Amino acid sequence: MLVTPLDLAFVAAGLAIVVWALRRRWTPPPPAGPAPAGSLGELVLTALALIPAAVGPNVLVVALTPGMPGMPVLVRWVLIPSAILLAGVWGVAHARGYDRLTNRIWTGVWVGAATTAALDVFRLQSFLLGWLPGNLPRMFGVLILDTMATGPTPLSDVVGGLYHYWVSACFGLIYTLLIGRTRWWGGLIWGVIIEVGMMVTPPMVIAMDTGYFGLKLGRGLLNGVFIGSLIPHVTYGIALGLLLERYVRHEGTIVVLLRDAAVRGSGPARAGEPARFGR
């Protein structure tokens, strides 16, 4: 599965957004004042938003696990409904005035998607060097449209590319919902965690037949599969962290939200004021 002009178009669009976003906020701004007081309502919506964030990457893991439903079924009945759920959660959060949550959902999605281009700059080079056994977005497309027997088509390439970028958007969303605003190196650590997850799940271990961490290929951890995917994920994590540091407004992890929700009601409140039940 070769590199296509569509691969390059996705990269060009993503890099343009990343460069624009960095130029717009070259220096990270200070946090947007004291973080709003958390509430049970915001906590529930955050948990609901984490469902589609987890679904995005894991439908592929499930589909490539022997005995489980394939991608066409999972995309129709799980992935698309999960994206609708996320849009609904954002709408409810916006209507109820949960500014911290709406910012984290929106920022996690667009930053996660855009910084996929930073990953792909090195992923495509690794593929061209023969380090990676396939162009994964093209494989995603034929799996989703169930055209593995006939091979990739322009439509399957578009679908695969969109899914590839949506998975990265989900990883960005998971980070913002769980961690919130951190320094750039937080994204670097997240990129390494994603890499470890990729190296031990069916898409690489079974579908690509590389074994855990590519060890089935020999050469220990210096094999092309591990190195050829580690560098892209580290690059993605750094780019992700740089932008999240600039566009996530409030500090505080989900632990802070859990603590606040334990002692406050379900309504939004200004920082330093107790929230009331209801709106």
Across-strand partners of 261?
none
Instruction: Quote the DSSP letter at residue 96.
Output: T
Average pLDDT over residues 257-264: 86
How many domains, the chain? 1
| pLDDT tens for each residue of 126-146 | 999 988 888 999 999 999 999
Is position 106 within any domain?
A: yes
pLDDT band at 279, cuts 50/70/90? very low
What is the domain range of residue 207?
5-25+35-261
Torsion of CA 218, 220, 223, 229, to 10 degrees: 130
Cβ neighbourhood burial of 10 (10 Å; 0-12, 13-18, 19+): buried
| pLDDT tens for each residue of 182-232 | 899 999 999 999 999 999 988 778 777 788 888 887 778 888 899 999 999
Is position 279 within any domain?
A: no
pLDDT band at 1, cuts 50/70/90? low
pLDDT band at 19, cuts 50/70/90? very high
Is position 269 within any domain?
A: no
Is position 30 within any domain?
A: no
Is position 273 within any domain?
A: no
Average pLDDT over residues 45-59: 97
Is position 173 within any domain?
A: yes
Is position 220 within any domain?
A: yes
Q: Which pTM was predicted?
A: 0.91
